[in-house]
């Protein structure tokens, strides 16, 4: 029986996950349907803020 070398032990212990590298990369951006919005529609008072900002102003022209 052959004894495992230090290099083999390190490779066997290594977790092959790329999550940390993807998040640390300047080329990785969050994904999903709301990732490119400059506001968060999941907050509690989103509807109030939405209509406050996007609501039609009530200006009367003389």
Q: By the 8 A CB rule, do 35 and 42 touch?
A: no
Task: Kindly tell me if the per-residue pLDDT of 53 is higher than 60.
Answer: yes
The answer to whether residue 13 sits within a structural domain is yes
Residue 59 lies in a domain: no
- Please say if the pLDDT value at position 47 is more than 70: yes
What is the reported pTM? 0.37
Instruction: Please say if the pLDDT value at position 19 is more than 80.
Output: no
Q: For residue 50, what pLDDT is reported?
A: 87
Q: 17 vs 2, 21, 45, 49, 51, CA distance in Å?
A: 28, 8, 38, 40, 43
| Average pLDDT of the residues in 37-43 | 87
Please give the residue range of the domain that contains residue 46.
Answer: 6-54
Q: Beta strands of 7-47 (E only): which ranges? A: none
Residue 31: inside a domain: yes
Higher local confidence (pLDDT), 40 or 57: 40
Sorting pLDDT into bands at 50, 70 and 90, what band is 62? low
What total number of domains does the chain contain?
1
């Amino acid at each position: 029986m052959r004894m495992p070398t230090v290099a083999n032990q390190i490779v066997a212990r290594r977790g092959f996950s790329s999550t940390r590298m993807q998040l640390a990369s300047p080329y990785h951006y969050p994904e999903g349907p709301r990732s490119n919005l400059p506001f968060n529609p999941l907050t509690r008072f989103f509807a109030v803020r939405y209509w406050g900002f996007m609501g039609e102003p009530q200006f009367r022209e003389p």
